[in-house]
Structure 1
Amino acid sequence: MTAGQHRGAVTVTGLGMITPAGVGREATWAGVRQGRSMAATDPELKDCPVDFSCRIPAMDPGQGRIGGGKAWRMGRFTQLAVLAAREAVADAGLDPTTWDGARVAVVIGSGLAGAAHLETQTLRHHQGGPDLVSPSLVPMLISNMAAGEVSADLGAHGPSLATETACASGATALAVARDLLLSGACDIAVAGGAEAAVTPVVTTGFARMGALSGRVDQPGLASRPFAADRDGFVIAEGAAVLVLERTADAAARGRRGYAHLAGAGLTSDAHHPTAPSPGGEHAEAALRTALAQAGLAPADVDHVNAHGTSTPLNDHTEAELIARVLPHGPSVTAAKGVLGHTLGAAGAVEAALTALTIRDSRVAPIANLAADGCCYPIDAVTGAVREQRVTAAVSHSFGFGGHNVVLVLTAP
């Protein structure tokens, strides 16, 4: 029995992305395949201990794109979610004006949600008092508002949920959406993650805890997953939304889709606020659970989209996990070398990229990793795109708080 035939399979029928590599699904995918980091000095981070980031290229997601006089009430992370959701739904060939909105669910994850707005409004309050605080502060701040605004924009009246599991938030959203479909709570799920928290205070907070790369003189070389000389991640913004349907329903309307979301495993390290559990046993449990749901054995996996943050602890634990559980050597990529770390959006971005890898039979290289630069016994893809037919892939996401999420995607 293949994963696509396995009872409970769900199909990815639409993708939408806005990332530092490009505005839109295909622009992002083209940028990631080039394998060149998007990191650059960021004027908004002037005087911060780390003054570079990965920003979305020249795009105002506000009034000109959102329309309808609604952008003013949305935080940037919400705006990104709405635009990515629109692209995903259109890509799936669905029309929100004709669907049964009561059968459409929305699940959007975010780690820091409206932290950027809180930061600016706190400064205004400090400088000028309460009269300068925006009345839109709360709706721009709270993490559920991306799901709420996407639901309103699409006329989706089914379950509307927000997941907040730090850097695993986007992947958690997809796992929850899959469960909603399989439980019969909805027929269509619009799910993913969005983050826009590249601010002086947030960036400084990550820098103070030692999580960011300190390569201020060479930002383009800073994010280097699995390299021996890696020293931290590059903060980034972005969003990705996927449309999920039960495989039988997608087939009934003539949609083969990009990939099946065949399994999901979620566990907790219950170990430390920011450090992964040594040995990665609970991350391994998430991987094995996801494979079991998909009806696959570890040897069936031919590709890994790694969490690959470029931090010493994460990459070490994750590489050991891959080598231990998947010793046959599936290809390994890590998009954060190009995109930086989009935090709560990362799991959804990487799931979308995995689906595109399956569609195109092309594995993107890891930026800033030389062919002989990986210090672990894994088959890291470097230098250029690798042509490879991928039939079963896993996408790893790990978040502060010990959240482990592994998704299994298979060829349709």
Structure 2
Amino acid sequence: MFGGIPVKEVDQLVEYWEAFPKLKDAIFEKTSDEYLSVKCDDIRTAIKSHVSLENYKRVFSNAFSDFYENLKNDLIEEILDVSPEHEKEKLSEDIFARIENVKIADKYKAYQILSDNWDVISTDLEMIQTEGFEVINQVDPNMIQKKKEANDDEVPEVQDGWKGHILPFELVQREILTEDFNEIHAIEKRLMEITSSYAEIIDSLDAEERDSSVLNDTNDAFVVKEVRSFVAEALSDVESDEINALKKYLELSKKKEKLDYINNCDVVKWHLIEQGADGTYKKGSARNRIMELQRSYEFPEDTFEYKIMTVLSLMEEEKQAKKDLKQKSEDLHIKTKETIENLDEDKSLYLLELKWIKPLVDSIFAIPDEIIEELISKVIHLYDKYSTTFSDIENQIENKSEILSNMFDELVGNTYDIEGLSELKKILGVE
């Protein structure tokens, strides 16, 4: 690298170097009195793994070691008596005092975190102190405005489920109804995976396959009806002893013939087919069994038939997953309502602790990581800023000039035009 990164620009980050001793020497080395070069292959890893960062985080953590417990004592233990206005002022002074001796940490940023979280805390405190402790267990109708027609002037309010007066439904689901909550999120995750699988299969299709009817006009989604039709056609010639036996059964029309056939045919797994009251098997159920057997046939991998069979399986799974998701979400919603209404005092206070205190403390404890990310970003910016050397630029100019000159050689024109092009080539420095 010609020159390198100017020392004066690196020195502008002096507040970071003071906060993280010896980190500067771990990243940079001198190439001259005026320039430095980056001596590590991975700037991010080199910074994050340096011992000074752990020491810094430890200093910050020690400064706020009992902050969570103090908040819990003031806000939870004294919930009916604490003054929101007085408590905010007290906490502001406490935060400023704690952060004072932590280098580079911005006390006003910490105060902003407090201010952002305090609106929720103070509003809840005022409701609890005004309406009584039992308001924590209150659940209200969730009213929304719903238009019947696009041009409706008056939009009536209708109820869309319930919401906690104090406690958010999601918090209660995440902390108490964990199993149901995780089950729903697993279904949602699977639906996203299915969507990604559709996209991957579309990307794998060649031009001819994309022209088939299984895709919509914009070639970005499968058409359910066409996919089913293609699969039925592709499987129509798939045969087995049980499939052929079932096809013969479907040709029978009389009850006695059917019963005799059932008693004498041991190829078919009759117990897997829905049986009618008269002892025979419904045609629709028999056809479903044929389709099930045909669907078990495996086309060679990477063939068009294999891909569309996979799409159909995904569609069926997606349809069932959406049905399950709707039902489980509705069940969990009602279960959450009932849970909030029947919370005991300890559980109610614990959930308030998670709603008020944890987000506030987590945000404050994230300050050191944000500072580190800022430093990494600044160092990488310096590296990128000076990574293109004068030599690189000269080579780029020379290459472009040569390409342009070669293009000139392909042009034709009169004598004056050719002489003009020759002079331009000399200006570009190309022989």
Return the TM-score normalized by structure 2: 0.20
Bigger Cα Rg: 2
